[in-house]
């Protein structure tokens, strides 16, 4: 068993195309910051998270309402606009790049994925084949409902509402309402 662990570590550090010392160091620091600050309750928690996350996120404009229990990886590729609201259990993976506009809101357990595993070579395990990144852009004044999933290479237009549990795998139109698996337009927001 111990030799198997050593073999896997040698692969990770010396043969894997995915290993990058600088990125792994950033992820290590990010993990500690997330561990120490993600669960602080109350108003002081909002303030402390805003200050701490500015150290590791690519950019945070203004003040964001980040609830306890928000999970993220590759924060160095995540930009948050002003007054973004992120609920508990949300999971943002920023490996491929993620940009979120002002006033956007995310329900509990929303998942945003910006990369996927390569799997074209059947002669090698998927874990050895690397990743394909896909930038995700979420516009201003977007509301993404609980348990929704946003996949890589998607642009969610300004004013879009994504229904709870939806899987968004293609771009949306401005001020549309989308729902379902895969998400399809089911209506438009009324503009006053």
pLDDT in tens, 47-80: 999 999 999 999 999 999 999 999 999 999 999 9
Phi, psi (deg, nearest 5) at residue 36: -80, -25
The CATH code of the domain that includes 23 is 2.160.10.10
Nearest-angstrom CA–CA distance, 106 and 44: 21
Using one digit for the tens of pLDDT, what is the confidence trace for 147-161? 999 999 999 999 999
Query: What backbone torsions phi and psi does residue 21 show, to the nearest 5 degrees?
Result: -55, -45
Tell me how many domains the chain contains: 1
**Could you tell me if residue 5 is inside a domain?**
no
Residue 11 lies in a domain: no
pLDDT tens-digit series, residues 89-134: 999 999 999 999 999 999 999 999 999 888 888 888 888 788 899 9
Token reading at 167? 């899987």
Average pLDDT taken over every residue of the chain: 90
Residue 7 lies in a domain: no
Using alpha carbons, select from 68, 107, 62 the residue that is nearest to residue 85.
107
Range of the domain at 33: 19-188
Domain-embedded: residue 169: yes
Establish if 1 belongs to a structural domain: no
**H or E stretch at 145:** none
Q: Is the pLDDT of residue 15 over 60?
A: no
Residues 172-187 have a mean pLDDT of: 96
Q: Which residue has the higher pLDDT, 9 or 63?
A: 63
Q: SS3 of 128, please?
A: helix
């Amino acid at each position: 068993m111990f030799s198997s662990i050593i073999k896997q570590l040698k692969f990770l550090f010396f043969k894997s195309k995915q290993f990058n010392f600088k990125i792994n160091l950033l992820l290590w620091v990010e993990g500690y910051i997330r561990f120490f600050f993600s669960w602080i309750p109350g108003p002081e928690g909002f303030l402390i998270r805003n200050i701490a996350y500015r150290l590791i996120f690519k950019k945070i404009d203004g003040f964001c309402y980040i609830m306890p229990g928000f999970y993220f990886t590759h924060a160095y590729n995540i930009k948050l606009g002003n007054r973004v609201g992120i609920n508990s259990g949300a999971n943002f993976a920023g490996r491929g790049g993620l940009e979120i506009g002002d006033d956007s809101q995310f329900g509990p357990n929303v998942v945003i994925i910006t990369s996927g595993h390569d799997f074209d070579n059947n002669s090698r395990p998927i874990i050895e084949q690397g990743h394909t990144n896909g930038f995700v852009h979420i516009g201003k004044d977007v509301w993404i409902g609980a348990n929704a999933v946003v996949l890589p290479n998607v642009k969610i237009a300004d004013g879009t509402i994504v229904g709870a549990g939806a899987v968004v795998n293609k771009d949306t139109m401005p001020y549309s309402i989308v729902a379902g698996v895969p998400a399809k337009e089911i209506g438009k927001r009324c503009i006053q």
